[in-house]
Amino acid sequence: MHRRALLLAALALPAPAHAWGPIGHRITGAIADENLSGVARANVRVLMGSEDLAEAATWPDDQKSNPAPFWQKQASPWHYVTVREGDDYQASDAPAEGDAMTALNRFTVTLRDPKASIEDKRLALRFVVHIIGDLHQPLHAGGGDDRGGNEFKVTWFGKASNLHSVWDSGMVEQRSLSYSEYAGWLSRSITPEQTIAWTDPTPSVWIRESIALRKTIYPTDTNLSWDYAYQHRGELDDRLKRAGVRIAAYLNQIFDPAGNSPASSRRK
């Protein structure tokens, strides 16, 4: 009975939050698909076959239950950065085990390496798409004091949760849309001017934006529901849209550097 009670107690705890939830990551991948250049899209197809970026975007999270040491130890820290001082990520911020930025740099090198195998490039592409999405979630650029909001306990519509989980999935799922519906709504709202302004494949810019937003989203009242969702819905949508545009911009720069023009990148 004692062991059973412990199991039930563990199941009652809120699930640990890791990144944008599956819907959020698929949204960013779907928006990215709409903004790839022709050459970049062809390169993605060569590597991934019928797997689109919406599907690829969730793969690193899907593998977190894989018992292989690579997933349980090496890849675990590659979903976030910690910036303890100031508003700008520095290379010295990366711990010895690495973080999202060191992993992004590593996988970018692999994608650009003509000698890398298809399998290695496929892994790299899935991680690049996923990591860029993660870096646009404001609590994935944490200050090192509460595990990116995981330790900031809240109730979400009356259920125990934490702030990280609310931003990962709570507010996204609260819209009651499929990822394709949500992505379609967001993609249609992105103006040409926004595409041009957001086509910046510089990770330090994305991290600085996430830090600035992170500082504004901690509530004074931890009983969160409609008011909090309404207050931050526009910011959430903005981060998803920017992530999608920037995933495409980053891949365009890798696969089609000569043709990486914001005016020509959107699918006709």
Q: Per the domain annotation, does 141 fall within a domain? A: yes
Name the residue among 41, 25, 127 with its Cα closest to residue 76: 127
Which pair of structure tokens corresponds to residue 164? 């990280």
Q: Per the domain annotation, does 6 fall within a domain? A: no
Instruction: Please state at what angle helix 38-48 crosses helix 118-135, rounded to 10 degrees.
Output: 120
Q: Is 261 left (phi over 0), alpha (psi -120 to 50) or beta?
A: beta
Q: Is 218 left (phi over 0), alpha (psi -120 to 50) or beta?
A: beta
Low-confidence ranges of the chain (pLDDT < 70): 1-19, 259-268
- Specify the number of domains making up the chain: 1
Q: Which residues span the domain enclosing 58?
A: 18-148+177-222+237-265
Q: Per the domain annotation, does 210 fall within a domain? A: yes
Q: Per the domain annotation, does 8 fall within a domain? A: no
Q: Per the domain annotation, does 199 fall within a domain? A: yes
What pLDDT sits at residue 17? 46
- Whether the full predicted model's pTM is greater than 0.85, yes or no, is yes
- Specify which residues 82 forms β-bridges with: 142
Q: How far is CA 262 from the centre of its chain?
A: 22
Sheet holding 153-156, edge to edge: 159-162, 153-156, 223-224
Fill in the DSSP letter of residue 15: P
What pLDDT sits at residue 259? 65
Q: What angle do CA 226, 227, 230 make, to 5 degrees?
A: 80
Question: For residues 195 and 39, is the Cβ–Cβ distance under 8 A?
Answer: no
Q: Per the domain annotation, does 84 fall within a domain? A: yes
- Specify which residues 161 forms β-bridges with: 154
| Integer Cα distance of 268 and 263 in angstroms | 11
| Integer Cα distance of 221 and 228 in angstroms | 10
Q: Per the domain annotation, does 28 fall within a domain? A: yes
pLDDT digits 0-9 by tens, 168-195:
999 999 999 999 999 999 999 999 999 9
pLDDT digits 0-9 by tens, 57-105:
999 999 988 999 888 888 889 999 999 988 999 999 999 999 999 999 9
| Integer Cα distance of 208 and 213 in angstroms | 9
- Cα–Cα separations (whole angstroms), residue 71 to 5, 64, 79, 167: 30, 6, 12, 24
Q: Per the domain annotation, does 48 fall within a domain? A: yes
For 147-162, the DSSP string reads TTTTTSEEEETTEEEE
What pLDDT sits at residue 19? 66
CATH code for position 99: 1.10.575.10
